[in-house]
Structure 1
Amino acid sequence: MTAPGPASGSSPFPAVSPVASPLTSPADSPVDVLTFGETMVALRGHGPFKLGGSMDLSVAGAESNVAIGLTRLGHSVR
């Protein structure tokens, strides 16, 4: 007995066009590290905002911080 499903030779998923490998950079050089995760924005206030205090914007998130640090050390990161 066979399980119900698509006919032999056909796929239940739509055809997907090939894309560049995530393990190569745009210059086709190998990547040392591939990070996964969320990049966040950190806002840090200086003084009361309603009285005209300023805000600093920076990149945050553990994965982003690791990727930035490794890039500064000369590694190819994506």
Structure 2
Amino acid sequence: MNEVKTPKKPMMFYYGIFLAVIILFNAIVMPFLNNMRVKEVDYGTFIRMTTELNINEVEIQDNQIVFSDKNGNFYKT
């Protein structure tokens, strides 16, 4: 007797599922992990750390200052 075989799904189907999972991971998990690394401080703390020469790198944006200290910790005002 002839056996009915179900057609195998093409490899592109699995690539599509993998791509969708990666996109969801990048959209949901990665922003959460990136925000955990940046500590929010006030402008006075930034000035104090600057006068103590504890600042490594500074990036001035439109409405905030993002900077890192010499230990590699990131902060924003």
Q: Which has the higher strand share?
A: 2
TM-score normalised over the length of structure 2 = 0.25
Q: Which has the higher helix share?
A: 2
Higher relative contact order (CA 8 A, sep 6+): 1
Bigger Rg, structure 1 or 2: 2
TM-score normalised over the length of structure 1 = 0.25
